[in-house]
Amino acid sequence: MPIERYGVLKGRPVDRRLATDDSDHYQIRVDDGARDHRIAINVRGSSWPSLVEYLLDTDFDHVLTAQVAALPLGLTLIAPGLGLDYVRQALFDRSHMRPLPATRPGPDNDLNEKIDSIVARAIGEPGAMLYAFGEPFGPDPVTDRTFGFTPSRGMHDVHMNQGSPEGRFLGDNGLGQDGAVLVSFPQGRWSALFLKFQSQAWRTDDATGHPRQPVRARQRRLQD
């Protein structure tokens, strides 16, 4: 079945933490004017191949920007199947997605740094606003382990949520529930970050979001 809940969180980014050897996530603290949230962005996968593919568009021009700009601050839940879909919507040119390691020596050459390039800029510009699509978590009656606010709440699964192969993530596949991060800047410019795991397939079933078998594989099965 698809992920349990899906939505978009709108708020001001106020802090961040880069992923480390002990953490597979780049973390963003977001203030919606009434509550704090933590956005957990995967920069490393747990299934082989384990790299995360990304596309960062620093001049994003799409009808989606006007739609999300009109949303109220905070979390807006979206009905199943009515959210972002990397495969079926013209959100970006997927041939431009590139795999990157989470961290490696040198400047501006890993996923941590690519994400941080827009998040740090947004934190530094008071008029910037962040929009995170994915699955909300919490509120949990504990102190957030990364930023120390209580209760802990936020957003995860901020990546493609279909095409996962057999295994523990197969049950998260679905249509119209992909994650992403959009940032609006004061001069009307937008940036957009799209992410998928290397292990996820682009060819997905139009009913389930599961990977579709190649034609040759289906033919071999019928012949066996």
Please report the pLDDT score of residue 91 as a whole number.
97
Please report the pLDDT score of residue 197 as a whole number.
96
Confidence of residue 199 (pLDDT cuts 50, 70, 90): very high
Flag whether pLDDT at 221 surpasses 60: no
The letter for the amino acid at 59 is D
Say how far apart CA 151 and CA 165 lie, in whole Å. Answer: 34
Flag whether pLDDT at 219 surpasses 60: no
Say how far apart CA 91 and CA 109 lie, in whole Å. Answer: 24
Please report the pLDDT score of residue 19 as a whole number.
92
Its domain, for residue 58, covers 7-223
Please report the pLDDT score of residue 218 as a whole number.
43
Please report the pLDDT score of residue 50 as a whole number.
80
Sequence-separated (6 or more) residues with CB below 8 Å from residue 134: 6, 7, 39, 155, 156, 157, 158, 159, 161, 179
Proportion of the chain above pLDDT 90, given as a percent: 85
Sequence-separated (6 or more) residues with CB below 8 Å from residue 51: 44, 45, 99, 100, 101, 197, 198
Q: Taking residues 92-114, report their average pLDDT.
A: 94
Please report the pLDDT score of residue 214 as a whole number.
62
Prediction pTM value: 0.93
Residue 2 is assigned to a structural domain of this protein: no
Residue 203 is assigned to a structural domain of this protein: yes
Please report the pLDDT score of residue 167 as a whole number.
79
Q: For residue 4, how many other CB atoms are within 10 A of its CB?
A: 10
- Closest listed residue to residue 123, CA positions, set 185, 61, 66, 190: 185
Q: Taking residues 106-130, report their average pLDDT.
A: 96
- Domains contained in the chain, number: 1
Using one digit for the tens of pLDDT, what is the confidence trace for 45-90?
Answer: 877 778 999 999 999 999 999 999 999 999 999 998 999 999 999 9
Residue 1 is assigned to a structural domain of this protein: no
Residue 119 is assigned to a structural domain of this protein: yes
Residue 79 is assigned to a structural domain of this protein: yes
Using one digit for the tens of pLDDT, what is the confidence trace for 11-55?
Answer: 999 999 999 888 899 999 999 999 999 999 999 987 777 899 999
